[in-house]
Structure 1
């Protein structure tokens, strides 16, 4: 009798704990104010074994290899079926994704990550600065969370540091630590090639400057100004042929590529556009530093 009562009490406690855990993991995605984030965009081959599989503005990239594929970024939570359809439209298998990467741990790039990880069994690799935020689904984010998860938490399988290499099949990507926009914002540098030539590709996390607060009013990120300064300086020194970014609008995707257009890697060789973008961010950063 006592044993049975203890079992019933234990069972009730278990249910309560599960309920509290579910409540703690409740996801509240911020309102989407830009319809281009969810607007579909036809997938296409950028250069060699690098493909665009994201939405009209939230850039997601597929890198194919002989040992499976790499997916960088996943857009918002509703993007999962869009990304899956885009990958399959290109003739690849969704379940062949082996590695998941992100340029920053905000909900507009991490929203569908947990679902895709669960569906494919891929390994999640994250810059050390964003590990905590990825693990709690954005709840500890200094800027966007409001103390709640903004996307489903994701288990991190490998922690990355500046200069670390991500290898799969014939591909080797180098992760570049570019903090500021988030504590673990990062870029990726790698080579792809087609029948004509090889291209050095930079998927750049452009360090968009926080606008709604002064740097001094962000106690949860005391080193933010220092990190922005470091990142802007580091990004000015990078060498590449093709550059892309976390948002299609940042590298003017729609100007450089029209749906249905022929394969044209040269359209993304745009050092002038990159330099102008970095210069604009530098100006905004210096203006922000002067705010009192």
Structure 2
């Protein structure tokens, strides 16, 4: 039997994940959903064919191609109307042909069902998160209970190194499991004023409440986290685009051409490794 949880514990750990990307400050203990998660933000151009269409605190990106648009993440069911307005301000809803997902948690996948219905787009998610998306039940075991989201039919479960292409634009799936079994980062290359830039839409690599010891639903979680750290450490990214963000800060950096930072991904990985080791040691000690 699933035990439905309030969102309080989930918020605390998800905000800790966001801190690794230096994007969101945690609210006081016991707070409800951070207001920035559902606070509308005007859409804006990021770089190349990429627009930001998310809320003030949760990222969603629209990538334009000559054959339509690609949407990455549909954060929270409560945000669907705002997301639709933002998408419509940059393109027609019916021009969204593909929806990609970072991972199967309510604050990233909660709007998938509604946006898939509104656009008729094909939905592509990490293969190991496919069942979670189709049932609306997040995978694995966490210390804050179960927070469900509207289930959405998946058109394709994608694996590490596989690609999606639309209108001459290709994104490559980078399997970064741990946070969820199917957590998927996405790579693409854009040309910015004549210079090629490697972009990484980064799925979370933080523990964020996951049970690392005795996780019966996800027994390989520790090995998956370690694999993901190594996988990302081997990747070169000029620009890292997060899904927990402060939209105003991202807009400001994009506006002055200050998105490029080749040190961002190595720092992110190192911080996550350190936090993971500490969390694992703590959970192992508690289990003795």
The two structures have a TM-score, normalised by structure 1, of 0.81
Distance 1:256 1:37 in 2: 15
1:160 offset after TM fit, Å?
0.5
Distance 1:29 1:111, change over 3 A: farther
Distance 2:122 2:254 in 1: 33
Distance 1:276 1:139 in 2: 28
Higher relative contact order (CA 8 A, sep 6+): 2
Distance 1:262 1:154, change over 3 A: closer
Alignment pair present for 1:241 and 2:238: yes
Which residues of structure 1 form unaligned runs of 5+? 1-23
1:45 offset after TM fit, Å?
0.8
Instruction: Summarize deviations over 1:44-96 as a string: whole Å, max 9, x none.
Output: 11111011110111100000111111000011101111111112223x11111
Q: Is the 8 A contact 2:46 2:251 kept in 1?
A: no
Alignment of 1:262-273 (within 5 A): 263-264=255-256, 266-273=257-264
Root-mean-square deviation (CA, aligned residues, Å) is 2.3
Aligned partner of 2:25 in structure 1 is: none
Aligned partner of 1:14 in structure 2 is: none
1:257 offset after TM fit, Å?
3.0
Distance 2:75 2:234 in 1: 28
Larger Rg: 1
Instruction: Summarize deviations over 1:195-214 as a string: whole Å, max 9, x none.
Output: 43332111111301134x65
1:126 offset after TM fit, Å?
1.1
Distance 1:227 1:262, change over 3 A: closer
Distance 1:245 1:256, change over 3 A: closer
1:104 offset after TM fit, Å?
0.5
Distance 1:47 1:140, change over 3 A: closer
Distance 1:135 1:145 in 2: 21
SS of residue in 1 equivalent to 2:258:
helix
Aligned partner of 1:215 in structure 2 is: 212
The two structures have a TM-score, normalised by structure 2, of 0.82
Alignment pair present for 1:47 and 2:69: no
